[in-house]
Copies of this chain bind each other. A is one copy, B any other.
């Protein structure tokens, strides 16, 4: 199995509901360093899994809708806590759609699995991964 990973980051505000969150119930924020890993069993004739330029552009397009925002105000997350786990799955869903929809070219259509990992601090990160297709 081949994999290709591209990275970017976003800076967001949010707050959490639930006593389990302690001080994180207050409005605070995070830099999420985002790693998007594309997997496919075969490369194309050029030796590529996906076009890295398209992969970066689509990841950036998806992140632009979150970057420099208060996630508490985003309709996509209404009624939900925007934990690192939830945001990772959200980005995964949009990036999987981009692969299937052709935004990453033919390479994106051959992607069989995708993993999106968000580093919230030097000491904690979360990821969501699943088959695409």
CA distance A83 to B44 in the complex (A): 11
The interface on chain A, measured as residues whose beta carbon lies within 8 A of the other chain's beta carbons, has a size of 60
Cβ–Cβ < 8 Å partners of A122 in chain B? 7, 9, 33, 122
CA distance A69 to B27 in the complex (A): 6
On chain B, the residues within 8 Å of A124 by CB distance are 4-7, 52
Q: Mark A77-107, 1 if CB is under 8 A from B, else 0.
A: 0001111111011000000000000000000
Q: Known: A1-B129, A22-B53, A124-B4. Contact between A81 and B28, CB under 8 A?
A: no
How many copies altogether?
6
Residue in B12, B31, B81, B130 whose beta carbon sits within 8 Å of that of A46 in the complex: B81
Tell me which of B20, B89, B125, B129 contacts A5 (CB under 8 A): B125
19 additional contacts (CB under 8 A) given A30-B31, A48-B85 = A2-B85, A3-B127, A3-B129, A4-B85, A4-B124, A5-B125, A7-B122, A7-B124, A11-B24, A13-B13, A13-B29, A16-B46, A17-B46, A20-B48, A21-B46, A28-B29, A31-B120, A43-B83, A43-B85
